[in-house]
């Protein structure tokens, strides 16, 4: 009996579908790859630019699995038979939004078997599998691809749609898939940090008028900038611009209101918090 790791390196080495099929294999066979305990607490949702995005039930589990990242990557690559991923990003998410939850429904298997692929889809599967000489491997490859295409068709019937940025599917209420949504949020936070670096006193309403964002994104960006300055500033010999910027961020004061008292309060804040929080990696 052949496993997925027997199929992928032999059949997809020179095919453009290699990475796409590998990602779907990870999603479909996650419990087999990481084990039942971890699969009950986490679910892969998508991959982009060599990064696998995995939803976890709680931030605690996200932290725990981050510590096991290298082991998980090794298990994934061993299952696939080759290295296709560079990193894994964990985030707390609502599992009810993901395709795996639909697959957990008792009737999912029945629904999946009832899906009929179009002639074009069947031809695509046959054309890709035709490159495989070994009949057993070709059969296994066709099964994986047919299951993936049926799964996508079923999700589309359930109201899922294609992400506005890429080809991944996302729930009816979302515009972007997980990886694209994370990328978009990251870019917005970068813009917010640049804005706050230039105008540290602005609040959420003013920021949102310049960079449309959620309040959570604003607060996270502000905290990231505060932490960056917190570890950059030497409280015994502070840079005037940096310490003034931090004071304006902390107390939401205009440049003309940065006085000796506010600088002293900021220095006390630095000494009190410098070693409380570890810097972000």
* Residue where a domain stops, chosen among 104, 129, 162: 162
Among 133, 162, 191, identify where a domain stops.
Answer: 162
- Strands (E) across the chain are located at 42-48, 51-56, 87-92, 161-162, 169-170
280 located within any domain? no
Is there a domain that residue 78 lies in?
Answer: yes
Domain residue limits at 262: 178-273
User: Are residues 120 and 224 both part of a single domain?
Assistant: no
pLDDT of residue 19: 65
Q: What number of CA atoms fall less than 13 Å from residue 41's CA on the CB side?
A: 13
Whether residue 148 sits in one domain with residue 58: yes
Distance CA 18, CA 25 (A): 10
* Domain total in the chain: 2
Q: What is the mean pLDDT of each run of 10 residues along the chain (281 residues)?
A: 48 52 79 89 84 87 91 92 88 58 64 86 85 76 83 87 85 85 89 96 96 94 94 93 96 95 95 64 42
Q: Across the beta sheet with 51-56, what order do the strands follow?
A: 42-48, 51-56, 87-92
């Amino acid at each position: 009996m052949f496993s997925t790791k027997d199929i992928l390196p032999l059949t997809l080495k020179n095919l453009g579908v290699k990475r796409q099929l590998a990602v779907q294999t990870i999603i479909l066979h996650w419990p087999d790859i990481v084990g039942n305990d971890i699969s009950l607490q986490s679910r892969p949702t998508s991959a982009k630019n060599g990064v696998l995005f995995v939803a976890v039930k709680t931030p605690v589990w996200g932290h725990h699995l981050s510590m096991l990242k290298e082991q998980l990557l090794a298990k994934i690559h061993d299952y696939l038979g080759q290295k296709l991923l560079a990193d894994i990003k964990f985030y707390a998410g609502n599992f009810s939004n993901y395709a795996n939850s639909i697959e957990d429904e008792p009737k999912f298997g029945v629904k999946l078997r009832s899906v009929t692929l179009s002639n074009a889809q069947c031809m695509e599967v046959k054309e890709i599998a035709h490159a495989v000489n070994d009949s057993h491997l070709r059969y296994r490859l066709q099964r994986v691809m047919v299951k993936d295409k049926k799964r996508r068709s079923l999700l589309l019937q359930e109201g899922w749609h294609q992400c506005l940025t890429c080809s991944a599917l996302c729930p009816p209420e979302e515009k972007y898939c997980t990886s694209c949504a994370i990328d978009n949020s990251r870019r917005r936070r970068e813009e917010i940090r640049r804005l706050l670096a230039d105008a540290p006193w602005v609040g959420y309403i003013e920021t949102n008028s310049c960079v449309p964002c959620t309040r959570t994104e604003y607060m996270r960006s502000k905290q990231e900038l505060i932490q960056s300055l917190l570890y950059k500033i030497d409280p015994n010999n502070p840079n005037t611009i940096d310490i003034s910027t931090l004071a304006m961020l902390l107390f939401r004061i205009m440049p003309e209101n940065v006085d000796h008292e506010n600088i002293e309060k900021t220095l006390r804040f630095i000494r009190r918090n410098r070693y409380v929080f570890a810097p972000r990696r």
